[in-house]
Each structure stands twice: as structure tokens, then as C-alpha cells.
Structure 1
Amino acid sequence: MITVRGLAVLTATLFLASACGVPTQDEPHPVTLPRRPLNASPSAAASEPAGEVAQVLCLVRDNRLAQTVRRVGAVPGPQRQLDQLIAGPTPAEQAQGLSTALATTTLTVTVPPGAAVATVEISEADDNAARSDEVLAYGQIVCTLTSRADIAAVSFHRDGQPLQVPRGDGTLSSEPLRAADYRILIGPA
């Protein structure tokens, strides 16, 4: 026989099990799908050349961070990906309004084996070269490197010492940064 207490526990359990955590909505809303739908048929995947991998670079469009994907033959190392970022947009990307805030920057990235935090060493800066797009430059580096599966965060150093760098909201941090620290600067692709 079910007691009142047992019935209350059963009702609460059923209620909690049926709640999925997604609020109801009165109106439909747009959903941004991945570049290739996850449910794409194998023939759609076969249209991409064999052996190509996606390399994500975070460039700048209208003072916002914008991700672009380049197809490359093999997975680039972190330094190669950073070098591609510093080189700036291709002519096709420039035609899409993409640019970079990293021109003439010298950066070296290291990722210790088994670590998920990349360390970017920044060469000595010219003290007379104050930049208004410094937040975008750091955001480009962080968003590009953390797009990799093997890097979760990025710390910045000069001469082996931690640097305080601006987050997307303008506050300074010497802690490892993630793409989420620049989310207010990330614009549409």
C-alpha cells in the first residue's frame, strides 16, 4: 500500500525526472548550425577533399573578433597556427572585410607536454607604439589558440614574467585567459 509520504516522493521524483531544464518558449528562435550539419549524409562529407583539416583563425571585422576557417593538409602545431594568424587575412578574407590587429608582432608559443595552457612569449614592445586595438590583438591570440582541442587557456609573458593583458571588458589579468574572456567582442562570422 502506498503511503502519503511515498506518494509525495514518487510525485516529486516524476516531476524532477520530466523537467529537462530547457524553458518553454512562445515563439520559435533562430538556431545557428555548424558549418556542416552533424546529420549530413556521408556523400556530403565526401565532397570535402580527403586529408583536409579545419584550422580556425580569429581575425577582426568592424572592431569585432570573427572566426574564419582555413582548410589545410595537416593539423598545424600551435606555433604554425599563430604564425598564420600574425600573417593576417588572405586576399579572399580581406575581400570579406577581415583584417588583423597583430601586424608586425613577434610571438612564440609553448605548450608543455600534457598541459592545456599555452604560454605566449611577447617580444619587447616599442614603448612609443601604444595601440587602441590591443584588446582585439590579445583576443585574436586567445580565441585562435583555444579553438584547438589541446589548448584550453593562454597565458602571456615577456622575458619569462607574466604580463597583465586586457580582457574583452577592458580589465587586466595576468591569469590564463579563455575565449569566454573575450565573448563580448566576438561578432558574427
Structure 2
Amino acid sequence: MPAVNGRRLAAFALVALLSGCGVPTEGAPRTVEPPSGPFPAAVPTDATAPAGRFDETLCLVRDNHIVPVLRRVDRPSGADEHLRHLLAGPTAGERDDDLASALPGAVNAAGVTVTGTQAHVVVDVPGADAGRSDEVLAFGQIVCTLTGRDDVTTVVFLRDGRPLGVPRADGFLSTRPLTRADYAPLISAS
């Protein structure tokens, strides 16, 4: 008989322990809302970059290809700030991963505004001592970075208020709105 009482006591203690765990019960099922998106894409991150709450994709260059890189930032960036982050170039950790930028000396982007879903990038005349000839990669970096945003689908470049012909991946100049597809042959998966 003492073994039966011991089992009853153990069972009672287990039931009391489980029912008193502090998790409230509800009489009916309820809907649970998923967290707000967008959810991060599968692009490499820079482990040395400061951790933030929001993802920002910048397109840098490695081995004559455009490489999307995910950075964490403290707050969502507007298109103009996003462009400034790209123009600032790679972080030390990104440079250690052989990432670079074709922008210095090739494209002097002065700013961007977004109208509807189209980004309008103002480009200044490059300096005489620019010395870079990889404009295709430079313009591709800007197009791929800005169209990676949820609010931008196309990019046009302007100089002195007029559309500027910029090189696509196929080498042809275009004044029409550009998309990521215009630079697809140059985009690397990693």
C-alpha cells in the first residue's frame, strides 16, 4: 500500500507542477499575427559591421562582378541615405573579403529622389583626374542597390535635369529607366 500512495503522491505533485507553470490557458483558439516584413534575403553579411535591427542591401564589386551584401543598420534608410551608404564604400571587413567599389572616380552621384517607384539619381560630371573606366560596374552598383529596396523598381540617371545615357551590362548606353535585369550578367550570387 505505501508504494501506491507514493505513486499517487508523485502523480499529484507532477500534475500540480505542470498546472502551476504560469502559462495561461484559453478557451478557444486565437489568430497569431506574423512579424512584419520584409524578411531578409539570403545575401552575405559582414560580421564586423555593427549589428542593427534593420537590413540594408548594398551592391559592391569583387572580381568584376556586382555582389549584394547585407548590412544591419539601426533604422530604415531613405533612398538618399541608402545611396550615401553605398558611396561611402565597403567596410574594413568587406575589404578583407576582397569587396570594393567601382564608384570612386567613375560616377559622382549627388543625390536621389523617389517618385512613385522610380529613383531619380542626379549625377555630376566626373573630375578630370577620375582615372576609372569601370562605369558599367559603377552604374550597376547604384541600380542594383536602389532596386533592392521595396520602394524602388527602376532607376533613371540625370545630369543638369536631363536623362543621362549610362552603360548597361551589354555595353549599350541607355537613357530609359534601368532595372536589375539590365545588369544581371554582372551580378554574382555571392
Question: Would the TM-score normalized by the shorter structure come out above 0.5?
Answer: yes
1:148 aligns with 2:149: yes
Contact 1:56 1:67 in 2 (8 A): yes
TM-score w.r.t. structure 1 length?
A: 0.70
1:85 is matched with 86
2:118 is matched with 117
1:135 aligns with 2:136: yes
Return structure 1 stretches of 4+ with deviation > 6 angstroms.
none
Q: Within 5 Å, give how 1:38-77 maps onto structure 2.
A: 52-77=53-78
Shift of residue 127 of structure 1? 4.9
Contact 2:109 2:121 in 1 (8 A): no
- Equivalences, count: 141
Sequence identity percentage: 47
Deviations 1:42-97 (A, max 9, x none): xxxxxxx7x71110000000110000000011110001110010000000000111
User: Which amino acid is 1:99 matched to?
Assistant: A
Contact 1:87 1:103 in 2 (8 A): no
TM-score w.r.t. structure 2 length?
A: 0.70
Distance in 2 separating the partners of 1:172 and 1:108: 21
2:42 to 31, 35, 41: 35
Shift of residue 117 of structure 1? 0.5
Q: CA RMSD in A?
A: 1.8
Shift of residue 130 of structure 1? 5.7
User: Which amino acid is 1:35 matched to?
Assistant: A
Distance in 2 separating the partners of 1:188 and 1:144: 14
Unaligned 5+ segments in structure 2 are: 1-40, 44-50
Which of the two has higher C-alpha Rg?
A: 2
Contact 2:121 2:157 in 1 (8 A): yes
Unaligned 5+ segments in structure 1 are: 1-33, 37-48
Shift of residue 107 of structure 1? 2.2
2:3 is matched with none
Q: Which moved more, 1:54-63 or 1:97-106?
A: 97-106
Deviations 1:145-168 (A, max 9, x none): 000000000000001010010011
Shift of residue 128 of structure 1? 5.8
Shift of residue 129 of structure 1? 3.6
Shift of residue 106 of structure 1? 3.6
